[in-house]
């Protein structure tokens, strides 16, 4: 235990003199957590949506007017042969194709399909936007169907109550996820850098010829770097998060 203690102290002194690793730890558990948590938008913002309206009905026009700022830009219309060009040039993120006879199928109680083409290179908007579009279209179609006496009343009213995060703030959730990511990464990086530092300084041979076991050397490095990460983790959890 005495050997492990003094080797851990030596490791802490070596880490204290390694400015680059200290900067990495401070950034990862400080600004890094904040940037990762707040950089991605919580909601869809100003998404470009284009419609190919082959139905030309009141329902198809209602679906277009259901998309309004700040979630969406004013929807544009185009033809089917322009879809690839618009998406290749990044002029739109979503292209919604409304087939012919869509309103008639809704009035008849059938379940017609909409086609949504997505520019997946805009990863965040693509991931979030599908849910927003689906919810907006479902709500508008249900409202239209209710006026046509097709929809039936819901049998269940679901009420969601969140513990600890009543507003459902995504930043809080991403902060915890980012904190765990940094914890996993720095645990590996610091422990590995400790051994590399010994080899760079030429002291790994000194340790090997001393009356020390490999277990003592390994435990001292794990405990020293684990202490540093634990302190940084605690600071980040109670201060940054």
Handedness of CA 186, 23, 38, 131 (dihedral sign): negative
Distance CA 223, CA 147 (A): 68
Determine the 3-state secondary structure of 50 from DSSP. strand
Give the tokens for residue 206: 């000194």
Strand pairing category for 115-118 and 76-77: unpaired
Cα dihedral 190→195→198→199 (10° resolution): -130
pLDDT confidence of residue 152: 59
Average pLDDT, the chain: 86
pLDDT confidence of residue 59: 92
pLDDT grade for 76, boundaries at 50, 70 and 90: very high
**Does the pLDDT at position 41 exceed 80?**
no
pLDDT digits (tens, 9 = 90+) for 86-129: 999 989 999 999 999 999 999 888 889 999 999 988 877 788 88
pTM of the predicted model, to two decimals?
0.55
Handedness of CA 149, 150, 152, 158 (dihedral sign): negative
pLDDT digits (tens, 9 = 90+) for 7-20: 889 888 888 888 88
Query: What percent of the chain shows pLDDT beyond 70?
Result: 95
pLDDT confidence of residue 154: 66
Domains identified in the chain and CATH numbers: 2-37+170-240 (no CATH), 49-147 (3.40.1710.10)
Residue that has been written with the tokens 């879809």 in this structure: 83
Q: Which residue has the higher pLDDT, 162 or 136?
A: 136
pLDDT grade for 77, boundaries at 50, 70 and 90: very high
pLDDT confidence of residue 157: 79
pLDDT confidence of residue 168: 73
pLDDT confidence of residue 42: 59
pLDDT confidence of residue 125: 78
Q: Taking a C-beta distance cutoff of 8 angstroms, is the pair 140, 63 a contact?
A: yes
pLDDT grade for 190, boundaries at 50, 70 and 90: confident
pLDDT confidence of residue 40: 65
Q: Taking a C-beta distance cutoff of 8 angstroms, is the pair 98, 53 a contact?
A: yes
10's enclosing H/E stretch is: helix 2-17
pLDDT confidence of residue 98: 95
DSSP string of 102-144? HHHHHHTT-----EEEE-TTSHHHHHHHHHHHHHHHHHHHHHH
Residues 6+ positions from 33 with CB-CB distance below 8 Å: 175, 178, 179, 182, 236, 240, 241
Distances (CA, A) of 39 to 24, 125, 186: 19, 13, 21
Burial tier of 238 (Cβ tally within 10 Å: 0-12, 13-18, 19+): exposed
Mean pLDDT within 156-182: 83
pLDDT digits (tens, 9 = 90+) for 42-64: 567 788 999 999 999 999 999 99
Find, among 145, 126, 124, the residue nearest to 134 by Cα: 126
pLDDT confidence of residue 64: 93
């Amino acid at each position: 235990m005495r050997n492990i203690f003094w080797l851990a102290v030596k490791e802490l002194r070596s880490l204290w003199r390694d400015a680059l690793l200290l900067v990495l730890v401070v950034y990862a558990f400080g600004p890094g957590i904040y940037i990762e948590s707040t950089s991605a938008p919580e909601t869809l913002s100003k998404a470009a949506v284009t419609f190919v309206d082959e139905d030309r009905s009141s329902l198809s026009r209602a679906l277009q007017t259901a998309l309004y700022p700040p979630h969406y830009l004013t929807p544009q219309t185009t033809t089917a042969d322009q879809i690839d060009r618009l998406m290749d040039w990044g002029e739109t993120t979503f292209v919604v194709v409304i087939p012919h006879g869509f309103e008639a199928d809704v009035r008849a109680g059938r379940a017609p399909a909409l086609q949504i083409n997505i520019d997946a290179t805009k990863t965040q908007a693509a991931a979030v936007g599908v849910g927003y579009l689906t919810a907006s279209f479902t709500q508008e179609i249900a409202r239209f169907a209710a006026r046509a006496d097709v929809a039936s009343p819901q049998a269940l009213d679901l009420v969601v109550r969140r513990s600890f995060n009543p507003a459902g703030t995504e930043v809080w959730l991403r902060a915890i996820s980012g904190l765990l990511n940094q914890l996993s990464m720095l645990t590996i990086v610091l422990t590995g850098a400790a051994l590399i530092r010994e080899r760079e300084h030429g002291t790994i041979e000194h340790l090997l010829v001393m009356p020390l076991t490999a277990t003592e050397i390994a435990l001292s490095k794990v405990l020293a770097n684990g202490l540093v990460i634990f302190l940084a983790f605690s600071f980040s959890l109670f201060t940054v998060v």
